[in-house]
């Protein structure tokens, strides 16, 4: 075997330009696959890291429902059920918040350790340094929010009655600081002076639904000043673990079929399904590159066996068995795959960094969540696996030329010109 | 059969099909070669010299008749058994040296032992060096074939051919690709091997070979005269 390996190595290293080109072909093919997979793994990892903190949560959302609008007959609706006539009636999709009574029943579901409810955005007019702006406020329950840690305070304190928590949005819109006063007017025109109690910090980790994407957060008591109908845009039910979250979700879902109840599993399942389709598409491009590399490798081996026909004939004439010749050429193929695979890993790493740059630059890497930073990830097992696969591919592509070489007739081979 | 008969051909014919035509390269050849004998095989081009060498060298099988190497009929052997016979019982020297270009001189000489699975790496190296020494080229052991002259390459090929102490050494025009001076050196090497008792069959046009051969076989149109 040592002699076979020596011959394989020397033959391979002797034909430098051909070997280099073949190795490059294999390396590019596998580099592309590694880079593509790193993208997919990176997104997946980012999604999991993003959703991990809510692994034991169940998220309750109001179900979007179809609202018929007779004033716009003739438009085709998106809703479900009903006959053709009813579907021909115009409709629009509307999301109705969860009312207080339903909220109370849901949060008292057995297994719920703590909960977090947020109101639907409430439209208000704000008077700010003699200028009136239209914006929305969201009502939160500070006592419920505190243990969940979804809203992190940058400065100040949680809001009390007639106080407001300024979000980063408001901070970007207007220079605001703790202690500032802001006047809010209800739709009926009544004015209330609120004090800014604190500033919401930049969320270090993206968590579902946090922080609320509105300028100002107030308590439910304060919100009641501007609206009579404080409904909930969503509820986060925290439980002890993932299994409990599933049980709670099932219980809520069976009691309220008009609501959407999601768990960590539901999120990851949906995201994974989307990611898999996306990865499959990219992988097919990579596989095409590998197929081209395999053809290149096969071509190299065919040329190599043709060039060495006389040598093969002489080896057989002096006693080499078919198996010896076969092993020699297979080893050469494997060597091309091994070197190509190793270089491919390097290419893959560089490629993943380039992709990261492109993805971040093009800002399309936000599949994982609102604030999650996406970064390609190459799991350790992918390195030996890719090298193994590169060796396997070149072995398969080199098997026919190797077999043909081993079956050469020694008399014919020695005469070969 | 006597132990002294190394090669025996009984009614051997070899027919090649070229397109629709059949070419009879050998026609009912009978031949016996004694151990230690040196034979010169003479004949014009296309007379069947190489075909005869290929059959004795177990590289081909006859269309008719039997080829026995040390009493063993090669016509019934499998591919691997033929390869083993070639490695252990036959030594081949070609006109164009046919050395493995990527292996050094000593590695080339070792190869028939590697094919036959003989010895350890160190014993193989030792034997190969001895063979090279016997042919006066031990100092070139670590060179590549491309760094040697034609005569030196042919002597390396002879060393490779005799490394397993074959029953018969077959040489196909061993000086055909060498100048007369170098050819003489190669023939001298073959003559010395013959003198040491190596059974040798040399296909040649060289009159010098006939001078030291104990028997000259003339072949014409596939028949021994």
- The chain A residue lying nearest B116, using CA atoms, is A319
Note whether A259 and A283 are same-domain residues. Answer: no
Q: Is the per-residue pLDDT at A108 higher than 70?
A: yes
Note whether A321 contacts B79, CB cutoff 8 Å. yes
Q: Domain B37-62+77-224, what fold? A: Rossmann fold (3.40.50)
- pLDDT band at residue A93, thresholds of 50, 70 and 90? low
Q: Which tokens belong to A188?
A: 């009926």
Note whether B86 contacts A317, CB cutoff 8 Å. yes
Note whether A26 and A68 are same-domain residues. Answer: no
Q: Is B122 on the interface with A (CB under 8 A)?
A: no
Q: Measured between beta carbons, which residues in chain A are less than 8 angstroms from residue B103? A: 6-7, 10
Closest CA–CA distance from residue B218 to any residue of chain A (Å): 22
Q: In the predicted model, what is the mean pLDDT of residues A104-110?
A: 87
Classify burial at B175, counting beta carbons within 10 Å of its beta carbon; exposed 0-12, middle 13-18, buried 19 or more. Answer: buried
- pLDDT band at residue A64, thresholds of 50, 70 and 90? low
Note whether A254 and A284 are same-domain residues. Answer: no
- pLDDT band at residue A66, thresholds of 50, 70 and 90? low
Give the E-state strand segments of A129-200 in sequence order: 131-140, 153-156, 163-166, 181-185, 191-200
Distance (Å, whole) CA B155 – CA A297: 37
Note whether A95 and A16 are same-domain residues. Answer: no
Note whether A200 and A308 are same-domain residues. Answer: no
Q: In the predicted model, what is the mean pLDDT of residues A104-111?
A: 87
Option in A311, A318, A411 nearest B160 (CB): A318
Note whether A60 and A182 are same-domain residues. Answer: yes
Q: Which of A239, A263, A287 is the last residue of a domain?
A: A263
- The chain B residue lying nearest A14, using CA atoms, is B102
Closest CA–CA distance from residue B54 to any residue of chain A (Å): 7
Q: Measured between beta carbons, which residues in chain A are less than 8 angstroms from residue B79? A: 321-322
Q: Which of A207, A234, A263 is the last residue of a domain?
A: A263
Note whether B103 contacts A316, CB cutoff 8 Å. no
Note whether A284 and A218 are same-domain residues. Answer: no
Q: Which tokens belong to B170?
A: 């077959």
Q: Is the per-residue pLDDT at A402 higher than 80?
A: yes
Q: Measured between beta carbons, which residues in chain A are less than 8 angstroms from residue B86? A: 316-319
Question: Which pLDDT score, from 0 to 100, does residue A88 have?
Answer: 42
Note whether B94 contacts A319, CB cutoff 8 Å. no
Q: In the predicted model, what is the mean pLDDT of residues A235-251?
A: 85
Note whether A319 and A191 are same-domain residues. Answer: no
Note whether A246 and A377 are same-domain residues. Answer: no
Q: Which range (A64-78, A327-341, B209-223) has the least confidence?
A: A64-78
Closest CA–CA distance from residue B62 to any residue of chain A (Å): 13
Q: Is A311 on the interface with B (CB under 8 A)?
A: yes
Note whether A45 and A74 are same-domain residues. Answer: no
- pLDDT band at residue B106, thresholds of 50, 70 and 90? very high
Question: How many structural domains are present in chain A?
Answer: 2
Q: How many CB pairs under 8 A join A and B?
A: 75
Question: Which pLDDT score, from 0 to 100, does residue A364 have?
Answer: 52
Q: Is A320 on the interface with B (CB under 8 A)?
A: yes
What are the extents of the domains in chain B?
37-62+77-224
Note whether A101 and A48 are same-domain residues. Answer: no
Closest CA–CA distance from residue A305 to any residue of chain B (Å): 14
Q: Is the per-residue pLDDT at B159 higher than 70?
A: yes
- pLDDT band at residue A372, thresholds of 50, 70 and 90? very low
Question: Which pLDDT score, from 0 to 100, does residue B35 have?
Answer: 86
Q: What is the span of the domain harbouring residue A39? A: 2-52+269-415
Beta pairing, strands B64-69 & B72-73:
antiparallel
Q: In the predicted model, what is the mean pLDDT of residues A280-305?
A: 85
Option in B57, B83, B102 nearest A10 (CB): B102
pTM: 0.69
Cβ contacts of B111 within 8 Å, gap of 6 or more: A3, A315, A318, A319, A320, B100, B103, B160
Distance (Å, whole) CA B52 – CA B30: 11
Question: Which pLDDT score, from 0 to 100, does residue A70 have?
Answer: 47
**ipTM of predicted assembly, 2 dp:** 0.87
Question: Which pLDDT score, from 0 to 100, does residue A360 have?
Answer: 66
Note whether A65 and A141 are same-domain residues. Answer: yes
Q: In the predicted model, what is the mean pLDDT of residues B127-145?
A: 87
- The chain A residue lying nearest B172, using CA atoms, is A414
Question: Which pLDDT score, from 0 to 100, does residue A409 have?
Answer: 85
Closest CA–CA distance from residue B4 to any residue of chain A (Å): 24
Interval B170-223: pLDDT, tens: 988 887 777 777 777 777 777 887 778 888 898 887 777 777 788 888 888 888
Classify burial at A393, counting beta carbons within 10 Å of its beta carbon; exposed 0-12, middle 13-18, buried 19 or more. Answer: buried
Interval B41-50: pLDDT, tens: 888 888 888 8
Q: Which of A263, A287, A316 is the last residue of a domain?
A: A263
Closest CA–CA distance from residue B158 to any residue of chain A (Å): 11
The 10 Å Cβ neighbour count of residue A102 is 20
Note whether B84 contacts A410, CB cutoff 8 Å. no
- pLDDT band at residue B164, thresholds of 50, 70 and 90? confident
Q: In the predicted model, what is the mean pLDDT of residues B6-34?
A: 86
Beta bridge partners of B153: none
């Amino acid at each position: 075997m040592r002699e076979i390996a020596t011959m394989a190595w020397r033959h391979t290293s002797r034909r430098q330009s051909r070997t280099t080109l073949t190795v490059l072909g294999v390396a590019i093919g596998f580099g592309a696959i590694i880079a593509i997979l790193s993208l997919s793994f990176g997104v997946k990892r980012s999604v999991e890291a993003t959703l991990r903190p809510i692994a034991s949560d169940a998220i309750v959302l109001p179900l979007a429902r179809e609202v018929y609008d007779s004033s716009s007959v003739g438009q085709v609706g998106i809703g479900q059920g009903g006959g053709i006539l009813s579907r021909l009636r115009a409709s629009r999709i509307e999301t109705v918040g969860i009312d207080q009574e339903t909220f109370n029943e849901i949060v008292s579901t057995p297994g719920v350790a703590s909960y977090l409810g947020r109101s639907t955005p409430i439209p208000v007019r704000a008077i700010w340094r003699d200028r009136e702006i239209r914006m929305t406020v969201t009502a939160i329950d500070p006592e419920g929010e505190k243990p969940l840690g979804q809203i992190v305070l940058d400065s100040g304190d949680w809001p009390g009655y007639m106080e407001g928590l300024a979000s980063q949005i408001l901070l970007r819109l207007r220079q605001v600081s703790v202690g500032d006063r802001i006047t809010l007017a209800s739709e009926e025109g009544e004015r209330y002076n609120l004090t800014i109690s604190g500033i919401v910090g930049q969320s270090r980790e993206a968590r579902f639904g946090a922080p609320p994407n509105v300028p100002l957060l107030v308590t439910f008591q304060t919100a009641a000043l501007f609206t009579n109908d404080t409904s909930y845009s969503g509820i986060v039910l925290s439980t002890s673990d993932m299994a409990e979250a599933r049980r709670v979700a099932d219980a809520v879902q069976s009691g309220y079929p008009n609501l959407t109840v999601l768990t960590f599993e539901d999120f990851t399942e949906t995201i994974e399904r989307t990611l898999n389709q996306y990865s499959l598409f990219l992988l097919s491009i990579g596989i095409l590159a590998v197929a081209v590399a395999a053809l290149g490798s096969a071509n190299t081996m065919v040329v190599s066996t043709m060039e060495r026909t006389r040598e093969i004939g002489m080896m057989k004439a002096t006693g080499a068995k078919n198996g010896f010749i076969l092993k020699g050429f297979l080893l050469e193929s494997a060597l091309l795959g091994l070197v190509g695979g190793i270089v491919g890993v390097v290419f893959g790493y560089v490629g993943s960094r380039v992709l990261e740059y492109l993805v971040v630059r093009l800002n399309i890497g936000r599949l994982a969540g609102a604030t999650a930073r996406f970064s390609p990830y190459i799991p350790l097992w992918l390195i030996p696996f890719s090298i193994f696969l590169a060796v396997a591919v070149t072995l398969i592509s080199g098997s026919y030329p190797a077999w043909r070489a081993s079956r050469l007739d020694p008399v014919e081979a020695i005469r070969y010109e | 059969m006597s132990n002294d008969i190394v090669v025996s051909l009984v009614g051997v014919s070899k027919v090649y099909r070229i397109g629709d035509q059949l070419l009879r390269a050998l026609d009912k050849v009978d031949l016996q070669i004694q151990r230690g004998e040196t034979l010169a095989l003479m004949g014009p081009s296309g007379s069947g010299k190489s075909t005869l060498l290929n059959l004795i060298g177990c590289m081909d099988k006859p269309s008719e008749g039997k080829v026995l190497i040390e009493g063993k009929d090669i016509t019934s052997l499998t591919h691997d058994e033929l390869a083993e016979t070639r490695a252990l019982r036959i030594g081949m020297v070609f006109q164009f040296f046919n050395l493995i270009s990527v292996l050094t001189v000593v590695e080339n000489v070792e190869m028939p032992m590697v094919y036959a699975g003989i010895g350890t790496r160190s014993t193989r190296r030792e034997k190969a060096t001895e063979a090279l020494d016997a042919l006066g080229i031990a100092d070139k052991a670590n060179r590549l074939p491309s760094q040697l002259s034609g005569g030196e390459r042919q002597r390396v090929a002879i060393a490779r051919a005799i490394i397993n102490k074959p029953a018969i050494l077959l040489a196909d025009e061993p000086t055909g690709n060498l100048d007369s001076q170098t050819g003489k050196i190669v023939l001298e090497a073959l003559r010395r091997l013959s003198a040491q008792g190596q059974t040798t069959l040399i296909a040649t046009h060289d009159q010098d070979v006939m001078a030291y051969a104990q028997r000259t076989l003339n072949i014409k149109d596939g028949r021994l005269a």
